[in-house]
Amino acid sequence: MSTKVINVGIIGQGRSGRNIHGNLLAKIPGYYRIAAVADSLPERQELAKAEYGCSAYSSWEEMVRNEELDLVVNASPSHQHFPITLELLEQGLNVLCEKPLAKTEAEVDRLIEASERRGALLAVFQQSRYMPAFVQIRKVIESGVLGRIVQVDFTNNGFTRRWDWQTLQSNNGGNLMNTGPHPVDQALQLFGTDIMPQITCIMDRANTFGDAEDYVKLILRGQGRPTIDLEISSCSAFPRDTFIVQGTNGGLRGSGSKLEWKYFKPEEAPEQKLQHEPLFDAKGLPAYCKEELTWHTDRWELALPEGTTLFEHMTEQLYMMLYRTIVDGAPLEITPQQVRHQMAVMEECRRQNPHVYGK
């Protein structure tokens, strides 16, 4: 394993650039070094210099012009992700872009084309792929104990009123673009990224002070695929389990910290045959279908190193994957082509909701 340290420049020192990327990168100095940051606010520049011992610039253009960077983290506001990332790729720079990568499938195509033409890496910060609970869910599903998966529910609900810049369509705001990239990415991993799903989407404005949606109900369907029921709501006073999986042999439910699943083994189940006539019990009275199945149960609980949060764990996993890609040539595990698929789904959601997004 190489011991190269990657020099990173971070665009933006807000909630994402500082609180997520800066704080995490400062904890893995053997792999990454924060060489520079760019932020328009002088006080943020000074704080970054004090916290990271790095250079600081008022613009990202000045930063990339004056620094030798192996990677640029684009943590600018959402509506700036596409144009800034495109310019960085055109300059041949490797980019890790915050979500949402872009707004449309066509914009992602332009980024992929620039990345391939210039030989620059394009990565997307979809760290929820590394959520331990989701990793465990995939293991349970792939083990086959739940049988054929019929439906998977993803629920990201709460009761929240927002009035910040991420509630505006002009800023690529709204629950679909803000929160959606994470559960949609997970959902498509289970549904499959080889085909475009049939999409039904309902969006609404409930508690937002902006003009973008804060309620999303998304159904994904496809022949031979599990039905995906995905909900992101800011008007749910009684949130339910984050994950629910229904299968022909059992099911699973839980959150990011706890999961439980139960299943029966077909070879242990009573032998049954289809009856075309009414059923009767032993006394000759009308009866309903009833059988005793032997249920097997299992549980999983989140276990992280002391002092490490779930968000830090997922972020570190993504950055270590990215390190292996940049330094050792390992393939990206979260590809821009997968994110392109995600953007196509979101674009169709907006098309189906002209009362929110216009015709």
What is the domain partition of the chain in residue ranges?
A: 6-128, 131-311+341-357
Distance in Å from the first CA to the final CA of the chain:
53
Note the pLDDT of residue 359.
Answer: 60
Amino acid at 314: M
- In 3D space, the residue among 17, 218, 8, 210 whose CA is nearest the CA of residue 125 turns out to be 17
Note the pLDDT of residue 239.
Answer: 87
Q: What dotted CATH number matches 131-311+341-357? A: 3.30.360.10
Note the pLDDT of residue 199.
Answer: 97
Enter the DSSP assignment of 211: S
Residues 6+ apart with CB under 8 A from 62: 38
**Opening angle at CA 65, ends 62 and 66, nearest 5:** 90
Residue 193 CB burial class (10 angstroms; 0-12, 13-18, ≥19): middle
Give 6-128's CATH code, choosing from 3.20.20.70, 3.40.50.720, 3.40.920.10, 3.30.565.40. Answer: 3.40.50.720
Q: Which segments in the chain show pLDDT lower than 50?
A: 1-2
Neighbouring CB atoms inside 10 A of 158's CB total 13
Q: DSSP states of 101-113 as a string?
A: --SSHHHHHHHHH
Say if residues 344 and 218 touch (Cβ distance below 8 Å): no
pLDDT tens string 223-254: 999 999 999 999 999 988 899 999 999 999 99
C-alpha to C-alpha distance for 77 and 88, rounded to whole angstroms: 16
Note the pLDDT of residue 1.
Answer: 47
**Opening angle at CA 195, ends 191 and 200, nearest 5:** 65
- Strands of the chain (E only): list them: 6-11, 32-38, 55-57, 71-74, 95-97, 122-124, 149-157, 198-204, 215-221, 227-233, 243-247, 250-254, 258-264, 295-301
Q: Which two tokens stand for residue 167?
A: 């509630």
Strands of 71-74's sheet in order across: 55-57, 32-38, 6-11, 71-74, 95-97, 122-124
- In 3D space, the residue among 24, 116, 123, 120 whose CA is nearest the CA of residue 334 turns out to be 123
Question: In angstroms, what CA-CA distances link 179 with 4, 150, 303, 349?
Answer: 34, 25, 24, 14
Say if residues 249 and 266 touch (Cβ distance below 8 Å): yes
Same topology, domains 6-128 and 131-311+341-357? Answer is no
Say if residues 66 and 55 touch (Cβ distance below 8 Å): yes
Say if residues 230 and 199 touch (Cβ distance below 8 Å): no
Q: Kindly give the residue spans of alpha helices, DSSP state H, lying in 76-218.
A: 81-90, 105-118, 132-143, 175-178, 181-191
Residues 6+ apart with CB under 8 A from 94: 70, 71, 72, 120, 121, 123, 326
Say if residues 2 and 328 touch (Cβ distance below 8 Å): yes
Question: In angstroms, what CA-CA distances link 283 with 274, 286, 287?
Answer: 21, 9, 10
Note the pLDDT of residue 290.
Answer: 87
